[in-house]
Amino acid sequence: MSQNIIIIGGGIIGLSCAYELRMRGFDVTVLEARRCGGQASGAAAGMLAPFSENTEGPDAFFRLCQFSLLLYPEWQEQIRSISGVHFEYANTGSLHIAYHAADLLSLEGRRLWQRQYGSSGEIVSGAELFRMEPALSRDVLAALYTPEESHIYAPDFIRALEQACRISGVLIKEELGSIRLVEWDRHIAVSAADGTVFYGDRLVASTGAWAQELSEQLGLPIPVYPIRGQICAYRTETQPPVKHMVFFNQGYLVAKANGTMVCGASEDVAGYDTSVTERGIERLRNWNNKVLPFLEGQLPFHSWAGLRPATQDGYPLIGPVEGAERVLMAAGHYRNGILLSPVTAKFIADFIENRCVPSEVREMFSPSRFANAWI
Amino acid sequence: MKPDLLRIGDYELRSRFLIGTGLFPNPYVQMEAIKASEAEVLTFAIRRINLESSADDSILQHVEEGKHIFLPNTSGASTADEAVRIARLARASGLSDWIKVEISANERTLMPDPIETLKATEILVKEGFTVLPYTSDDPVICKRLEEAGAAAVMPGAAPIGTGLGILNAYNLGLIVEEAHVPIIVDAGLGSASDVAQAMELGVSGVLMNTPVAKARDPVMMATAMKLAIQAGRQSYLAGRIARKQYASASSGFDEFILK
C-alpha cells in the first residue's frame, strides 16, 4: 500500500524530497506558502563545495556534504533529462586563496586531511597559480586547489527540479499563505490559509528558516534561526574569464556561464528581513577588489538576500521526530542546502521506506536531539 | 570584601573567562554565547580577519564595539619572525596592543614551539605589546616566558581543540606555584569539570573556544563554563580539605557521650 506524503515547503530540500519519493512510488503533495524556490534556494550561489565549506576536519557534517557531492553528477543529470530545463552545472574546481604566510599552515593541514577523504587537492603558488587563474590579485600568495568541487546555477536548477516534480506526478500547491499542521498522530492533516485541508500518511517539513514554527505544535525545541545572506553579481562578459570558484576568508566569487560573477555572502543577524543594505554590499565590494582587481570600480548590476536556516549546533535536521513518527524534518541546512539536497532526499526517502540509514546520520542529524530530558 | 579581579597588564578584569570567536555554527549563536560567557577578552586569529577594515570583518562585525578587550593571536605562524610580523600588523590596524603569541610548527598536532614562542615574546615585550604567550605545560618554559616580560602565561591543558582536559595536572600546579604573573590555561579543555579542575589548581583564568563553539548548545555551554570558572575559583580560594585515607564522621558525636 502506497503512503501519501505531504511536504511543507517548496524550496530545494522540499522539492528534492518530493522528486525522490515520487521516483520511489509515493503519492506526493508539496505545499508552499508562496512560490517554489522563492526564498534561500533561489538566492543561493549554488556552490557544491564540501571541502571549502568544511575546513576544520572530517566530522559527520563534512561526510554528509561529501556524500551529497558524490550523488550530484547522476542526480542533476536525471533532473535535467526529465525536466528538459537547461541549467548550468560546472565542474570547475575551487581555489581557496591565502594572502599571508601564516595561512599556509592551515591550508596544508586542510590538504592533509582532505586528501584522505576524496580530495586530490594541492597547494599552488606563484607563476603556477597565476597561470591557472590569471585574473587573481598578485597579492595572493598561494591557494589550495580542490579539483573535485563544482557549482550549479541555483535559480535555473530549482526551476528544473520543480518541472521534474510536476512531470513525474508530484502535486504542487503554491500561494497557500499560512500553512498549519493540524493533526499528526493517526494521520497527517495540514490546513492552508483559505481553510483547505490536505491529508496524508507522513509529513516532511522542509520549511527552511521557518522550521521553528512547528516547534510549539510538536512540543519540541527546533532551534533554527534565519541568518541573512546578502549577495551581489557583476557583469563580466568583457573581462578575462575566471575559471575556478574562488574562496577567501571573507567570502567567495564564482563566475557563471551567463557572463555574471556572483559574490557572496554576508551572514547577518536581521530576523526575517530580506532587504539588502548598503553596508552589506559595500563590504562585499571591498573584498572583491582585493581578490580580482578588475572588479575595482565596477558596480554590481544586481544584489539580493536570502535567509539561511541556521541551527544551534550547525547541523541540519534530517529524519523522523521522536514521539511523532509520522513527521519528518528536513531543514536547517544553513549554507549548504543546494549541496545537501540529494543526500537529504535520499535519507528522507530511506527513513520513510524503513530502509537502513547510517547510525551516524540518525544520531547527529536527529531533529529530536535538542530535546533535553528535564527531570 | 574586595572584588576578586584578574589583573593583566594595565587592565583589571571581572571575568576569568577568555573566549575565542572561531568555529561557531553561525553569528547568532556566536553572539549569544559570547554574551552568556560574560567574557571580557575575545581572541581571534589575525590571519582570519580583515585587518584593513575590521568593522567589516566577517567575525568582528558581529561583536559589540567597545565592550571587549581584543586579544588577537598569531595562529598560523611557525616562526618567531612570522609571529612578530603578524602582531605588528594587528597593532598597526588599531585593533589592540594585546597579543597572544601562538606559534606551531606541526600542522597536525599544532603543539606550540616553545623556543620560537620565547623569542617572539622577548621581541614583542620590547616593542611595548601586552604579550600573552600560548605555550606547552612545561614549568621551566613558563617561568622563562614570565621573565621575558609576558603579561600572563598561557600553558595548554592538551593539544588545541582535542577536549582531552588537563593531561598534566602536576605540571600545571607547579607552574602556578612558581608564577608571579597570571597563568591562564589555554587549549585542550572539554567540559565544565575540566575548567573547574584547572581553576582549583590555582590558575588565574581559562581561555576556550572549541568546547563552547562546538557544543550542541553553545550558549548553554558558555554559561556552564562561566559557572565552572566561578565554582573552581571559589573552591580554590576557600581551600579544600585534606585528603584522608579513612572515613571520619561529620556529626562528631564523640563529645556528646555522657560519662
Check whether A374 has a pLDDT greater than 60. no
Size of interface A-B (CB pairs under 8 A): 94
User: B58 and A103 in contact by Cβ < 8 A?
Assistant: no
**∠ CA B4-B8-B12, rounded to 5°:** 45
User: A269 and B62 in contact by Cβ < 8 A?
Assistant: yes
CB atoms under 10 Å from CB of B193, counted, come to 13
State how far residue A273 is from chain B, nearest Cα, in angstroms: 15
Give the residue ranges of DSSP H helices in chain B.
27-37, 80-92, 114-126, 139-147, 169-178, 192-200, 210-213, 218-238
Nearest to B107 among A112, A283, A310 (CB): A112
E-strand spans in A162-210? 171-173, 180-183, 188-191, 197-200, 202-205
What pLDDT band is residue B252 in, cutting at 50, 70 and 90? low
Query: What per-residue string of b and e applies to A85-111 under the rule 16 or more CB within 10 Å gives b?
Result: bebebbebbbbbbbbbbbbbbbbebbb
**Whole-number pLDDT of residue B259:** 62
User: Do strands A171-173 and A245-248 pair parallel, antiparallel, or not at all (unpaired)?
Assistant: unpaired
Check whether B228 has a pLDDT greater than 70. yes
DSSP bridge pairs for B224: none
Average pLDDT of chain A? 94
pTM: 0.90
Structural domain span for residue B158: 6-256
Condensed to tens digits (0 to 9), the pLDDT of residues A42-94 reads: 999 999 999 999 988 899 999 999 999 999 999 999 999 999 999 999 999 99
What would the mean pLDDT of A272-284 be, rounded to a whole number? 92
The verdict on whether residue B187 carries a ligand-binding annotation is yes
**Residue of A155, A149, A173, A186 lying closest to A38 (CA atoms):** A155
User: B47 and A102 in contact by Cβ < 8 A?
Assistant: yes
**Residue of A92, A89, A88, A94 lying closest to A72 (CA atoms):** A89
- B41 within some domain: yes
User: Would the CA dihedral through A265, A266, A270, A273 be positive or negative?
Assistant: negative
Share of chain B above pLDDT 70, in %: 94
CATH of the domain at B57: 3.20.20.70
**Whole-number pLDDT of residue A239:** 78
Give the span between the Cα atoms of A294 and A135, in whole angstroms: 7
Give the span between the Cα atoms of B66 and B59, in whole angstroms: 15
Q: Which residues, in sequence order, are CB contacts of B81 under 8 Å at separation 6+?
A: none
What pLDDT band is residue B256 in, cutting at 50, 70 and 90? low
**∠ CA B19-B23-B24, rounded to 5°:** 80
Condensed to tens digits (0 to 9), the pLDDT of residues A117-146 reads: 999 999 999 999 999 999 999 999 999 999
Condensed to tens digits (0 to 9), the pLDDT of residues B131-163 reads: 999 999 999 999 999 999 999 999 999 998 899
Condensed to tens digits (0 to 9), the pLDDT of residues A352-364 reads: 999 999 999 999 9
B49 contact residues in A (CB cutoff 8 A): 249
B67 carries an active-site annotation: no
Enumerate residues 343 to 372 of chain A having a beta carbon within 8 A of any beta carbon in chain B: 369-370
What pLDDT band is residue B253 in, cutting at 50, 70 and 90? low
Give the span between the Cα atoms of A18 and A200, in whole angstroms: 14
Check whether A11 has a pLDDT greater than 90. yes
Catalytic choice (B67, B100, B126, B259): B100
A112 contact residues in B (CB cutoff 8 A): 107-108
The verdict on whether residue B161 carries a ligand-binding annotation is yes
User: Would the CA dihedral through A125, A131, A137, A143 be positive or negative?
Assistant: negative
Give the span between the Cα atoms of A202 and A88, in whole angstroms: 34
State how far residue A55 is from chain B, nearest Cα, in angstroms: 10
Which residue in chain B has the smallest CA separation from A225? B28
The verdict on whether residue B188 carries a ligand-binding annotation is yes
**Whole-number pLDDT of residue A53:** 92
**Whole-number pLDDT of residue A75:** 98
**Total domain count, chain B:** 1
Does the CB of A221 have a partner CB in chain B at under 8 Å?
A: no
Q: Which residues, in sequence order, are CB contacts of B212 under 8 Å at separation 6+?
A: B19, B33, B37, B218, B221, B222, B225
Condensed to tens digits (0 to 9), the pLDDT of residues B2-57 reads: 789 999 998 999 999 999 998 999 999 999 999 999 999 999 988 777 777 666 77
B77 contact residues in A (CB cutoff 8 A): 102, 105
**∠ CA A265-A266-A272, rounded to 5°:** 115
Q: 3-state DSSP call for residue A259?
A: coil
Q: Report whether B88 contacts B62 (CB < 8 A).
A: no
Give the span between the Cα atoms of A151 and A165, in whole angstroms: 22
| Residues of chain B that touch chain A, judged by Cβ-Cβ distance less than 8 Å | 23-29, 31, 46-50, 52-53, 56-58, 61-62, 74-78, 82, 86, 104, 107-108, 110, 161, 214-219
Check whether A372 has a pLDDT greater than 80. no
Q: Report whether A236 contacts A260 (CB < 8 A).
A: yes
Does the CB of A251 have a partner CB in chain B at under 8 Å?
A: yes
- B1 within some domain: no
The verdict on whether residue B73 carries a ligand-binding annotation is no
> Inter-axis angle of helices A60-83 and A337-352, to 10 degrees?
90
Nearest to A310 among B25, B82, B86 (CB): B25
- B33 within some domain: yes
**Lookup: cell for A293:** 582587481
Higher-confidence position of A180 and B107? A180
**Whole-number pLDDT of residue A2:** 76
**Residue of A229, A240, A238, A237 lying closest to A263 (CA atoms):** A229
Give the span between the Cα atoms of B259 and B85, in whole angstroms: 80
**∠ CA A200-A202-A203, rounded to 5°:** 95
Share of chain A above pLDDT 70, in %: 99
User: A334 and B76 in contact by Cβ < 8 A?
Assistant: no
**Lookup: cell for B136:** 606547552
What pLDDT band is residue A189 in, cutting at 50, 70 and 90? very high
Condensed to tens digits (0 to 9), the pLDDT of residues B177-187 reads: 999 999 999 99
**Whole-number pLDDT of residue A375:** 55
User: B76 and A103 in contact by Cβ < 8 A?
Assistant: yes
